[in-house]
Amino acid sequence: MLVCVGPDQPSYEAVVPPTIMMNKATATEERHQTITWGAAQLGIGQGVLDAVADGLLAADRDTIVFVAIWIDAAAGDETAVRRASRDATRAAIGEAVDGPDAAAVERLVRDRDGLANPFYGGR
C-alpha cells in the first residue's frame, strides 16, 4: 500500500519519497483495520517526513521506502499507535542511513552461536 496522508483520502497526497507499507498482521476486524490503515499509516508517513526534514532522505522519486508493520489486533489507542509508528519509522530510517549501533552488532557477532528464534525448534 502506498502511504498517503491528508484529511480527504479520495484526494490524498502520497508521501515523498514514495513509501510502501506492508502489513504483517492480517487486519480482519474493523477496529484493527482502522488503526492499521489510519493511525499506523499516518505515523509511518510522519516518520518518513521527519527523516526528510532531518536531511536523512531526499524528497525525490528515486528513493523508495519500504515499511513492514505489525499492529496488535488488541491495540485500542490510535494516538499511541500513530506515535509509535512515527518514532519507529524515523529510528529505522536513521539506522538504515547511519548504520546499526556498533555495540549491538558486536554483541550479535559475539553471541551468534547462542542466538535463538521462537519459530525454530531445531538444534
**Within a domain: 119:** no
**Within a domain: 51:** yes
Contacts 24+ apart (CB under 8 A), 68-72: 68/22, 68/24, 69/21, 69/22, 69/23, 69/24, 69/36, 69/40, 69/44, 70/23, 70/24, 70/25, 71/23, 71/25, 71/27, 71/32, 71/35, 71/36, 71/40, 72/25
**Within a domain: 72:** yes
pLDDT in tens, 95-117: 999 998 899 999 999 999 999 99
**Within a domain: 46:** yes
**Within a domain: 68:** yes
Q: DSSP 3-state assignment of 75?
A: coil
Our count of domains for the chain comes to: 1
**Within a domain: 39:** yes
Predicted confidence band at 5 (pLDDT cuts at 50, 70, 90)? Answer: confident
pLDDT in tens, 28-51: 899 999 999 999 999 999 999 999
Domain that holds residue 8: 4-114
Please tell me the predicted confidence (pLDDT) of residue 25. Answer: 86
**Within a domain: 89:** yes
Q: What is the pTM of this model?
A: 0.84
CATH assignment at residue 36: 3.30.230.60
**Within a domain: 55:** yes
Predicted confidence band at 10 (pLDDT cuts at 50, 70, 90)? Answer: low
